[in-house]
Amino acid sequence: MSNMATVELKAFVPAKDFELSKQFYIDLGFTLGWSSDVMAQFHAGACTFLLQRFYVKEHAENFMMHLLVEDVESWWRHVEAAQLAKKYGVRVLPPADRPWGIRDFTIDDPTSVLWRIGQGIENAPQT
């Protein structure tokens, strides 16, 4: 299996209301790299995903993303200051230490995609 080097892995995140979701991700702290009528590329640092104009309720409500960050409290303060829960009518739950060695908070996007944004807890077992 020579030459099996990988370059990138991206998720295709569904959007019920494509324009609303694009604005949500900008407000959440992602940078819009490019956009077409059916897809948009977002990034934060080296982390990238594609937002797509695609919606199937059962798919969206069971879709989850995990973003590992250096400082979860900074991301949390940003979400709170931007009042994303109120602005977009989405569920946001505050940071908590998880038994799997991550401190994270959750936020649903306008399509019901669940995001877990967190950081590793020092000296905790990683699973």
Which sequence spans correspond to the domains of the chain?
A: 12-120
Does the reported pTM lie above 0.85? yes
Tell me, what's the pLDDT at 123?
54
Residues 6 or more apart whose CB falls under 8 angstroms from that of 96 comprise 103, 104, 105
Query: Amino acid identity, residue 89?
Result: G
**Residue 102 burial (10 A CB sphere; 0-12, 13-18, 19+):** buried
- Tell me how far apart the alpha carbons of residues 127 and 115 are, in angstroms, rounded to a whole number: 18
What pLDDT is attached to residue 3?
83
Where does 12-120 sit in CATH, by number? 3.10.180.10
**pLDDT tens per residue across all 127 residues of the chain:** 578 888 889 999 999 999 999 999 999 999 999 999 999 999 999 999 999 999 999 999 999 999 999 999 999 999 999 999 999 999 999 999 999 999 999 999 999 999 999 999 975 444 4
